[in-house]
């Protein structure tokens, strides 16, 4: 079987675009065979990543930002690309009871791999979910 790769992209300029991105994530995850629970969680990861990027970019005057979906036969990758400073993501079981700051932890527990990568003036938040063979 040939190793197919499909890439889709979208520019996020307004909060309504985040809702569209969530719909696209859920639709793509469903189309490639993720279980409904995983589709919902991937939708949630998209919401958290895009909301974080939107709030940062809006506050710093760096809107718009972009989201990419990359699908191959075994993995679904969602990438949020924004201009700005780098940050880190580490999976931990410590509970954050503060008013904010749980989104990246939530993402780390939803996907199989999450990492942040700087490329020039851009920061990429990469979230990868492997497709399990049933």
User: pLDDT digits over 23-49, tens only?
Assistant: 999 999 999 999 999 999 999 999 999
What's the predicted TM-score (pTM) here?
0.88
Report the CATH fold assignment for 6-130: Heat Shock Protein 90 (3.30.565)
| pLDDT tens, residue by residue, 74-113 | 899 999 999 987 666 666 667 666 666 678 888 999 999 9
Mean pLDDT of the chain: 89
- 69 to 35, 41, 85, 90, 122: CA distances (angstroms): 18, 15, 22, 22, 17
CB 63 within 8 A of CB 13: yes
């Amino acid at each position: 079987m040939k190793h197919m790769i499909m890439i889709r992209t979208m520019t996020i300029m307004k909060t309504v675009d985040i809702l569209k991105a969530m719909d696209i994530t859920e639709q793509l995850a469903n189309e490639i065979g993720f279980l409904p629970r995983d589709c919902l969680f991937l939708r949630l990861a998209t919401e958290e990543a895009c909301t974080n990027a939107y709030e940062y970019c809006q506050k710093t005057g760096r809107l718009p930002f972009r989201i990419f979906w990359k699908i191959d036969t075994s993995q679904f990758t969602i990438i949020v690309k924004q201009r700005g400073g780098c940050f880190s993501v580490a999976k931990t079981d410590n509970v954050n009871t503060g008013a904010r700051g749980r989104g990246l932890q939530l993402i780390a527990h939803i996907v199989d791999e999450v990492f942040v990568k700087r490329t020039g003036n851009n920061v990429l938040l990469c979230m990868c979910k492997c497709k399990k063979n049933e």
